[in-house]
Structure 1
């Protein structure tokens, strides 16, 4: 079972690496990876009371995959962000890799997410607001970018 202790912490060099695409031949592995992501996220929820999404590299799985658990689970494979809005908004972002730290960032208000699901079917999802922010956060992990690197300024950090 995956737990908080399996989540890579701020400063781990793997968190700054760019992930490789998931190949269709790797689809049998995706189910196992998603189970690991789900377990780690559930543990974070129990201990810290937050968690709507987690990216594969946070468990050292260096693949372009993230998992969201909103009103239902979403398996997002090889995502692409399109139609980024001109409008942005500011928020205090949190991350499972540093659960007690908040970082003020700017994110796009709206976007279109194109991805493959767990059945390798292409999906398109238009999102805005909190879901848009969440997708941008998880997508950044796949490119080795943490919200600490997107801080608005040097005063954009605070403890929970």
Structure 2
């Protein structure tokens, strides 16, 4: 089982690599990968009090897979997203202070699309088309999708002043 010690941190060259698609014959490996992603996310939540999604390459699993687990009604959680493709994105964009488990104390101001459509496979290899109009979900999906393409939010910073330290929970 992978732990927080296995999380790749900013500067690790693997975080800048594009991932390979998950192949149908690799489907038996997915439950183990998801268990590792879930475990590390829970450790991040306990230590840093944030975390809604994590991408496989953050644990050195260089596959096009990410895991979302948010406390939100109206949809089954968690979600396993395999071989995602953004099939459309809105022209409307918004800014936010983005965070990342691979550099948990740093916030980065980025611009993301307000809505999108995501095509992907689930852990049973069923294909889904997910229109996402919720801003919070849209920006999260874009963040995790970027990881699969070797793009970190530091690379999407809106300008040179778009960085700040995360306040510690008790300060």
Same fold (TM over 0.5): yes
Q: CA offset at residue 59 of structure 1?
A: 0.1
Cα RMSD (Å) of the superposition? Answer: 0.7
Q: Which residue of the partner structure matches residue 111 of structure 1?
A: 116
Does the alignment pair 1:155 with 2:161? yes
Q: Distance in 2 between matches of 1:64 and 1:143?
A: 9
- Greater mean alpha carbon deviation, residues 107-116 or residues 68-77: 68-77
Q: Which residue of the partner structure matches residue 55 of structure 2?
A: 55
Q: How does 1:6-155 map to 2 (within 5 A)?
A: 6-70=6-70, 71=72, 72-128=77-133, 129-155=135-161
Aligned length: 160
Q: CA offset at residue 2 of structure 1?
A: 2.6
User: Structure 2: where are the runs of 5+ without partners?
Assistant: 167-171
Q: CA offset at residue 5 of structure 1?
A: 1.5
* 4+ residue segments displaced more than 6 Å: none
Q: Distance in 1 between matches of 2:5 and 2:98?
A: 21
Question: Residue 141 of structure 1 aligns to a residue in which SS?
Answer: helix
Q: CA offset at residue 82 of structure 1?
A: 1.7
Q: Distance in 2 between matches of 1:54 and 1:27?
A: 19
Cα deviation digits, residues 97-120 of structure 1 (max 9, x gap): 000000000000000011000000
Cα deviation digits, residues 66-109 of structure 1 (max 9, x gap): 00002410000000002200000000000000000000000000
User: Structure 1: where are the runs of 5+ without partners?
Assistant: none
Q: CA offset at residue 143 of structure 1?
A: 0.3
